[in-house]
């Protein structure tokens, strides 16, 4: 499930981080060049600009990169375990609420008006309490997810920039969303996607070991409580079909 907060956060954080990195990498060049290179004589002929060659464009699924790297997996597993008690609590409230609704459906016609009204009022009260609890949990988990994504991205952005520069890319496009949510109509992941390479490079740089594999015969823990926003599950980007 890809939350709105994550998309907005990544768009803003990536823009700010990449811009800052690019400015840092290029700011020293003009001044140092001016200091070391003598000025050309005023009579020297103007240099004819050399046309730039075709740009090399790459793609990356930022959500995959963040949540599939060792650090992202570790932190999301920890977040899941932290909110397991809340998940159990909300499940209990929901089960109680569903039982009352079922009771009203089956016994409602047999109850007198006062008893039916009392039961409906009880359901309404518990429904409001449950809805507030779910909303509070969503906001709390969402804030934790934002913190994880922002923290990892701030450290991963320079890795993406360096990898792109070292491999001759002139542009990297985020493909976390499929077309038409994304302006990218089609791409070939096998040819231009750098997500896996960035994850591997970042894992080495971060020094965070891969989380232990789940024991044989047991299911891996869910990324987030079922009654609260699930953590974005990394998915391999696939070429989007162009409009017909």
Model confidence over 121-143: pLDDT tens digits? 999 999 999 999 999 999 999 99
Residue 157 lies in a domain: yes
For 92, half-sphere exposure in the C-beta direction (CA atoms, 13 angstrom radius) is 6
Residue 188 lies in a domain: yes
Rounded distance between C-alpha atoms, residue 73 and residue 71, angstroms: 6
Rounded distance between C-alpha atoms, residue 83 and residue 99, angstroms: 24
Residue 32 lies in a domain: no
Rounded distance between C-alpha atoms, residue 20 and residue 4, angstroms: 24
pLDDT tens for 184-208 read 888 888 889 999 999 999 999 999 9
CB within 8 A of 106, min separation 6: which ones?
Answer: none
Of 101 and 8, the structure prediction assigns the larger pLDDT to 101
Rounded distance between C-alpha atoms, residue 39 and residue 51, angstroms: 24
Residue 185 lies in a domain: yes
Q: How many domains does the chain have?
A: 1
pTM for the model stands at: 0.63
Residue 46 lies in a domain: no
Of 223 and 128, the structure prediction assigns the larger pLDDT to 128
Residue 60 lies in a domain: yes
pLDDT, position 138: 93
pLDDT tens for 66-76 read 999 999 999 99
pLDDT, position 47: 44
Residue 35 lies in a domain: no
pLDDT, position 229: 34
Q: Is the confidence at residue 93, as pLDDT, over 70?
A: yes
Q: Is the CB of residue 167 less than 8 Å from the CB of residue 193? A: no
Rounded distance between C-alpha atoms, residue 160 and residue 173, angstroms: 11
**Residue 7 in tokens:** 């998309």
Helix, strand, coil % over all residues of the chain, rounded to 5: 60, 5, 35
Rounded distance between C-alpha atoms, residue 18 and residue 153, angstroms: 10
**Domain residues for 131?**
4-12+56-206
pLDDT tens for 94-121 read 999 999 999 988 887 888 888 889 999 9
**Residue 186 in tokens:** 């089609």
Rounded distance between C-alpha atoms, residue 189 and residue 144, angstroms: 30
Residue 68 lies in a domain: yes
Q: Is the confidence at residue 153, as pLDDT, over 90?
A: yes
pLDDT, position 185: 86
């Amino acid at each position: 499930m890809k939350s709105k907060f994550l998309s907005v956060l990544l768009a803003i954080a990536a823009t700010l981080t990449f811009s800052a990195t690019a400015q840092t990498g290029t700011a020293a060049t003009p001044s140092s060049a001016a200091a070391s290179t003598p000025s050309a004589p005023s009579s020297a002929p103007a240099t004819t600009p050399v046309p730039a060659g075709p740009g090399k464009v790459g793609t990356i699924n930022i959500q995959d990169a963040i949540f599939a790297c060792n650090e992202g997996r570790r932190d999301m597993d920890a977040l899941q375990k932290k909110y397991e008690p809340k998940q159990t609590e909300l499940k209990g409230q929901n089960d109680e609420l569903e039982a009352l609704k079922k009771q009203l459906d089956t016994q409602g016609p047999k109850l007198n008006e006062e008893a039916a009204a009392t039961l409906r009022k009880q359901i309404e009260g518990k429904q409001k309490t449950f809805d507030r609890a779910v909303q509070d949990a969503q906001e709390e988990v969402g804030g934790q997810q934002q913190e994880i994504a922002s923290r990892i991205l701030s450290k991963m952005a320079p890795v993406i920039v360096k990898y792109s520069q070292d491999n001759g890319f002139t542009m990297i496009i985020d493909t976390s969303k499929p077309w038409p949510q994304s302006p990218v109509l089609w791409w070939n992941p096998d040819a231009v996607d750098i997500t896996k390479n960035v994850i591997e490079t970042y894992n080495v740089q971060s020094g965070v070991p891969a989380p232990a594999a789940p024991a044989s015969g047991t299911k891996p823990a869910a990324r987030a409580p079922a009654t609260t926003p699930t953590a974005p599950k990394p998915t391999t980007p696939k070429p989007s079909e162009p409009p017909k």
